[in-house]
Chains A and B, each alone.
Chain A
Amino acid sequence: MQSTYQVDVSYLALTIILSFEKTCTIQILNRMKVLKLIVSAAISVALIAVLNMKMGMAPPLGKFLDPFHGFWQNSETMDIRWKQQLTADGLQAPVKVVYDDVMVPHIFAENDDDLYFAQGYVTAQHRLWQMEFQTHAASGRLSELVGDKALEFDRRQRRRGMVFAAENFIQQLEKSPQLKKVAEAYTRGVNAYIQGLSYEDLPLEYKLLNYQPEEWTLLKCALFLKYMASDLTLFELDLEYTNAMKLFGRKYFDMLYPDTVPGQDPIVNGMAQWNFEPTKVDTVKGAFAIDQFVATEKNAKPHPDNGSNNWAVGGSKTRSGNPILCNDPHLGLNLPSIWYQIQLHSPEGNVYGASLPGVPTVIIGFNEQVAWGVTNAKRDVVDWYKVEFKDDSREEYKLDGEWVKTRKRVEEIKLRGSESYYDTVCYTIWGPVLYDETFEPANGKNGYAFRWIAHDPSEEMHTFYKLNKARNYQDYLDALDHYTCPAQNFVFAATNGDIAMKIQGKFPVKWPEQGKFLMDGTHSVNAWQAYIPSTQNVHHYNPARGFVSSANQYPVDTGYPYYVYDARYEQYRNRRINQVLDSLQQITAEDMMNLQNDNYNLIAAENLPFLLRQVESLEMNEEERKIYEALQQWDFFNEVDVAGAAYFEAWFDELKTLVWDEMQGKSIALVSPSHYTTFQLLKENADFEFFDVLSTPEKENACKVIQMAFQKGVKRILSWKKEQGKEMVKWGDYKGTYLQHLARLEPFNIRNVQNGGNHNIVNATSERHGPSWRMVVELDPKGVKAWGVYPGGQSGNVGSPYYNNLLPYWEQGKYYPLLFMQSVEEKSERIIFDQTLQAK
């Protein structure tokens, strides 16, 4: 569109100049007039050309500011002014879409093909830019939009084999015509929306960055799912642990990074019998490559707190006698919101829930019989292999004593404003070589290849499609059998009273510690040898305690016959949730909302009294005394307006820095131990070598380092007060939660979000991370009732009141009743707008 304009403008200029030149030669006397005309015309044309062009970071100002087509047209009000009658190619029957007062679309179609078409269309109508931007990010194409500042990011995405993974997904999709039809219908719907767009309708970000949406494809649906997989599985610490093992030795390594810690409450704990014959694998001796240090990976990992809570309580524990299911996935607090609420109704089913823009079906939701939700099932499904190349050409690598050819994939990374960058990624039997001499931290003839389960052909969409239509526990199990990665703890409840939890994913059968450290990639015997059959995955059905729950903790007790490992299990939320659920009877939906918003800081409750004892003999100045006393009185709840939570956080942050100074500022990749282990060592091992602060000549012990941290923490609080110009310290201000727009443009972010909690607290809202969707569903056989809320809003448009209208509710821990319509004829005061999609 843009190039057409430019051609038009140049044509205009040419016409003016030519006509003028003709006149010029004939009318010599009028030379002055002609000269003036030339100058004036040239200025006009140049002005238009310049204002039609993107200048550095600035959008093309004329085009952008034009109130008829530019950004002004993206300003909206609460009244919807979309077209009500829409025509699109590829529909079999008319589809009715009604919107409720929070802009949730309720789609009523006469068949599934039309249903998913409409889902694509309607989602794009609200979230097109986000859908495309996220899949561009997934596939390493951000440089096309912003130039070489995204090159490092794009190279990493390419070298991770994100597109390779998505292509394998599509290959698998080809084998199931039913699901392919779903994805194709969705894709056609998105494209029908894109085709109807003119410049003034484009989402704001396209105007700002001056580019056009491209065609949506099946591959993009797959890319988004793989993006979720990377976000939820790539927080692993293999290289950090390899370095730590080499640097500190086995004795200290096991103290610093234990596989399990006491006092935890696994997802399935001591209540299940495992009546199956487990697949056995042989332990391989000498499989690790702990011979040299690995340099730091820069900006490489997803957020460590990516996780979630979910639980279901059975009728025996609820007041109504109906099961209640709850889920709140913790992800980056982004705008546009990660989730998009939708209801999908056709003769083949009726489902409501949170969808992911870019993927057909509902991901977390409920229908007339069942509800389901997910939390991330942490398990090490990424292993690193050290590859030995024959020479700098990286044409061959060593395997079982022979030189084997690498498969090279040349990645063209288009850079806005300059020539393409070409990156060659070598594929081995392990997977892509992410790090080699051209990409840190590898060097010389070595490379680090990584084996990632998300590269395998998979059919996660199948699972969600079947869950959307599930009617009972058996359907749920059947749906889950299709699921590979990112592994999830699938919670389930049904109107017939069933509750269940299954930890589903494709998990390699590992010998103890396999893949915990960098593996020797020159021997094929070091590969994964088998996978745990889906039926042998950890699961729990109607347990006697009357509830199931998960919060990214260790999955199962030691009775489970497989080796289970992840670098970092969550160690606090699970225990708090289970304590509360154990103690509650006659549970109502409101109790469950309160639990999702529970701000009890278990880390503080377990450790603050110990910390305070260490400083009671300390000589304190006035400020220190005040903070000490405030901490003594604090009840361990991280509510927005308390000071104690901020004091504790400041103290703990300083403590971690002082205690684990051995791991910081190193050129090699290292990681600090978990919070749990930190406190365990402080309490039980007062003279542990690591407590010595390296920057002081004295030798510190636990007590001394806690005292130093206390004084530094107080200073941190005082300087925060000074910086902020605040008299009072309030946790909500100190934490400074905000929602970040995907393009990271400050005016589009929402600052000063006041919500309590923190990481490792049930209400897991930290600075820029937290519950991205809170849902509570009561499985009443007379009609399922549900409530939900997320930080943000249904619209992806910064210029719409629906961009963040749900935020105030979310901040205050309130919920909207979810309007679960039974038919298109159903009347509701909450319906504010409707659209009809029809075939052309």
Chain B
Amino acid sequence: MKFWTSILSIIILVVALELVLPWWSIGIAACIGGLLNAETPAKNFLIGFTGVFLVWTAYALFIDFNTSSILSGKVGELLFLPSPILLALVTGLLGGIVGGFSCLTGRLLKAVVKN
């Protein structure tokens, strides 16, 4: 699979698993994504990161926009983040890092198993 299709597969997996499992299912989704593609391990980190980052940031922004930042502003303040956009980006970043390492793990597992 190509770079962007790999990202797309992770996006689909994240959404599907999050609907039935808790938040850490992003790790499983990204790991499976890593098992499925043939990109280099380094690129896989990026794939996993981008996939989860996009889903989490976009969904957070969607909620933020739909609810006129009613809660994100206040929670942002609690976490010392001055704007809801920043909070959405931090949300995406945290998910992205987990996604990146999980996807990398999936890719490395594939390499080991293949041998």
Partners in one complex: yes
Residues of A within 8 A of B (CB): 5, 8-9, 12, 16, 19-20, 23, 27, 29-30, 33-34, 36-37, 40-41, 43-44, 47-48, 51-52, 58, 61-63, 65-77, 199, 204, 208, 745-748, 798-801
* B56 with A747: CB separation less than 8 A: no
B1 beta carbon closer than 8 Å to chain A = no
* A75 with B24: CB separation less than 8 A: no
Q: Which of A58, A61, A71 has the most CB of B within 10 A?
A: A71
* In-complex Cβ contact of B23 among A19, A63, A798 (8 A): A63
* B66 with A77: CB separation less than 8 A: yes
* B105 with A37: CB separation less than 8 A: yes
**Residue on A nearest B69 in the bound complex, by CB:** A75
* In-complex Cβ contact of B64 among A61, A75, A798 (8 A): A75
Question: Given the complex of chains A and B, what is the CA–CA distance between A62 and B98 in angstroms?
Answer: 9
Known: A23-B112, A63-B22. A71 touches B75 (CB 8 A): yes
Contacts of B105 in A (CB 8 A): 16, 37, 40-41, 44
* A74 with B71: CB separation less than 8 A: yes
Contacts of B73 in A (CB 8 A): 747
Interface size on B, residues (CB 8 A): 44
* A71 with B109: CB separation less than 8 A: no
* A36 with B71: CB separation less than 8 A: no
Contacts of A77 in B (CB 8 A): 66-68, 70
Q: Shortest CB–CB separation between residue B65 and chain A, in angstroms?
A: 10
B60 beta carbon closer than 8 Å to chain A = yes
B94 beta carbon closer than 8 Å to chain A = yes
Q: Shortest CB–CB separation between residue A160 and chain B, in angstroms?
A: 32
Q: Which of A44, A69, A73, A77 has the most CB of B within 10 A?
A: A44
Question: Given the complex of chains A and B, what is the CA–CA distance between A27 and B111 in angstroms?
Answer: 12
Residues of B within 8 A of A (CB): 18-19, 22-24, 26-28, 31, 41, 56, 59-60, 63-64, 66-68, 70-75, 77-79, 87, 90-91, 94-95, 97-98, 101-102, 104-105, 108-109, 111-113, 115
Known: A16-B105, A33-B112, A747-B74. A5 touches B22 (CB 8 A): yes
- Other A-B contacts than A75-B66, A204-B71, 9 sampled, CB-CB below 8 A, are A34-B112, A40-B105, A48-B98, A67-B60, A72-B60, A72-B71, A75-B67, A76-B70, A747-B78
Q: Which of A76, A204, A747 has the most CB of B within 10 A?
A: A747
**Residue on A nearest B110 in the bound complex, by CB:** A37
* A745 with B112: CB separation less than 8 A: no
* B98 with A47: CB separation less than 8 A: yes
Majority secondary structure of chain B interface residues (helix, strand, loop or mixed): helix
Question: Given the complex of chains A and B, what is the CA–CA distance between A75 and B98 in angstroms?
Answer: 24
Question: Given the complex of chains A and B, what is the CA–CA distance between A192 and B78 in angstroms?
Answer: 32
Question: Given the complex of chains A and B, what is the CA–CA distance between A77 and B67 in angstroms?
Answer: 6
* A12 with B27: CB separation less than 8 A: yes
**Residue on B nearest A800 in the bound complex, by CB:** B70
* A67 with B67: CB separation less than 8 A: no
* A27 with B71: CB separation less than 8 A: no
Contacts of A23 in B (CB 8 A): 112-113
* In-complex Cβ contact of B74 among A12, A47, A748 (8 A): A748
Question: Given the complex of chains A and B, what is the CA–CA distance between A199 and B68 in angstroms?
Answer: 23
Question: Given the complex of chains A and B, what is the CA–CA distance between A12 and B67 in angstroms?
Answer: 36
What is the count of residue pairs linking A and B with beta-carbon distances less than 8 angstroms? Answer: 134
**Residue on A nearest B24 in the bound complex, by CB:** A48
* In-complex Cβ contact of A76 among B59, B67, B113 (8 A): B67
Contacts of A52 in B (CB 8 A): 23-24
**Residue on A nearest B98 in the bound complex, by CB:** A47
Question: Given the complex of chains A and B, what is the CA–CA distance between A9 and B105 in angstroms?
Answer: 15
* In-complex Cβ contact of A44 among B87, B94, B98, B111 (8 A): B98
Known: A37-B112, A40-B101. A66 touches B23 (CB 8 A): yes
Question: Given the complex of chains A and B, what is the CA–CA distance between A61 and B23 in angstroms?
Answer: 10
Contacts of B91 in A (CB 8 A): 65-67, 72
* A72 with B72: CB separation less than 8 A: yes
* B94 with A799: CB separation less than 8 A: no
Q: Which of B75, B90, B102 has the most CB of A within 10 A?
A: B75
Q: Shortest CB–CB separation between residue B37 and chain A, in angstroms?
A: 15
* In-complex Cβ contact of B71 among A33, A71, A199 (8 A): A71
Question: Given the complex of chains A and B, what is the CA–CA distance between A799 and B97 in angstroms?
Answer: 27
Q: Shortest CB–CB separation between residue B106 and chain A, in angstroms?
A: 9
Q: Shortest CB–CB separation between residue B10 and chain A, in angstroms?
A: 14
Question: Given the complex of chains A and B, what is the CA–CA distance between A52 and B98 in angstroms?
Answer: 12
Known: A47-B98, A65-B94, A66-B56. A75 touches B23 (CB 8 A): no
* B24 with A67: CB separation less than 8 A: no
Known: A44-B101, A47-B98, A745-B78. A62 touches B67 (CB 8 A): no
Question: Given the complex of chains A and B, what is the CA–CA distance between A9 and B31 in angstroms?
Answer: 13
A selection of 7 A-B contacts at a CB cut-off of 8 Å is A41-B109, A47-B101, A65-B94, A67-B91, A72-B64, A208-B78, A747-B75
Q: Shortest CB–CB separation between residue B11 and chain A, in angstroms?
A: 13
**Residue on A nearest B79 in the bound complex, by CB:** A58
Q: Which of B59, B71, B74 has the most CB of A within 10 A?
A: B71
* A75 with B109: CB separation less than 8 A: no
Q: Shortest CB–CB separation between residue B59 and chain A, in angstroms?
A: 4
Contacts of B31 in A (CB 8 A): 44
Contacts of B78 in A (CB 8 A): 208, 745, 747
Question: Given the complex of chains A and B, what is the CA–CA distance between A69 and B87 in angstroms?
Answer: 16
* B108 with A12: CB separation less than 8 A: no
* In-complex Cβ contact of A37 among B67, B70, B77, B108 (8 A): B108
Question: Given the complex of chains A and B, what is the CA–CA distance between A19 and B110 in angstroms?
Answer: 12
* In-complex Cβ contact of A16 among B77, B109, B111 (8 A): B109
Question: Given the complex of chains A and B, what is the CA–CA distance between A70 and B88 in angstroms?
Answer: 12
* In-complex Cβ contact of A12 among B28, B68, B87 (8 A): B28
Contacts of B26 in A (CB 8 A): 66
Q: Shortest CB–CB separation between residue B44 and chain A, in angstroms?
A: 10
Question: Given the complex of chains A and B, what is the CA–CA distance between A454 and B77 in angstroms?
Answer: 41
* A68 with B101: CB separation less than 8 A: no
Question: Given the complex of chains A and B, what is the CA–CA distance between A74 and B70 in angstroms?
Answer: 10
Question: Given the complex of chains A and B, what is the CA–CA distance between A798 and B63 in angstroms?
Answer: 15
* A65 with B101: CB separation less than 8 A: no
Question: Given the complex of chains A and B, what is the CA–CA distance between A67 and B14 in angstroms?
Answer: 12
Question: Given the complex of chains A and B, what is the CA–CA distance between A70 and B41 in angstroms?
Answer: 30
Question: Given the complex of chains A and B, what is the CA–CA distance between A62 and B90 in angstroms?
Answer: 10
Contacts of A65 in B (CB 8 A): 56, 60, 87, 90-91, 94-95
Question: Given the complex of chains A and B, what is the CA–CA distance between A23 and B87 in angstroms?
Answer: 41
Contacts of B113 in A (CB 8 A): 23
* A61 with B94: CB separation less than 8 A: yes
* In-complex Cβ contact of A33 among B18, B75, B79, B108 (8 A): B108
**Residue on B nearest A26 in the bound complex, by CB:** B115
Known: A51-B94, A67-B56, A798-B74. A44 touches B27 (CB 8 A): yes
Question: Given the complex of chains A and B, what is the CA–CA distance between A27 and B75 in angstroms?
Answer: 50
Contacts of B63 in A (CB 8 A): 67, 72-73, 75
Q: Which of A12, A37, A58 has the most CB of B within 10 A?
A: A37
Question: Given the complex of chains A and B, what is the CA–CA distance between A358 and B22 in angstroms?
Answer: 31
Q: Shortest CB–CB separation between residue A759 and chain B, in angstroms?
A: 30
Contacts of A62 in B (CB 8 A): 23-24, 94-95, 98
Q: Shortest CB–CB separation between residue A579 and chain B, in angstroms?
A: 44
Contacts of B97 in A (CB 8 A): 47
Q: Shortest CB–CB separation between residue A41 and chain B, in angstroms?
A: 5
Q: Shortest CB–CB separation between residue A739 and chain B, in angstroms?
A: 14
Q: Shortest CB–CB separation between residue A25 and chain B, in angstroms?
A: 12
**Residue on A nearest B73 in the bound complex, by CB:** A747
Contacts of A19 in B (CB 8 A): 109
Q: Shortest CB–CB separation between residue B14 and chain A, in angstroms?
A: 9
Q: Shortest CB–CB separation between residue A799 and chain B, in angstroms?
A: 3
Q: Shortest CB–CB separation between residue A27 and chain B, in angstroms?
A: 6
Question: Given the complex of chains A and B, what is the CA–CA distance between A240 and B22 in angstroms?
Answer: 55
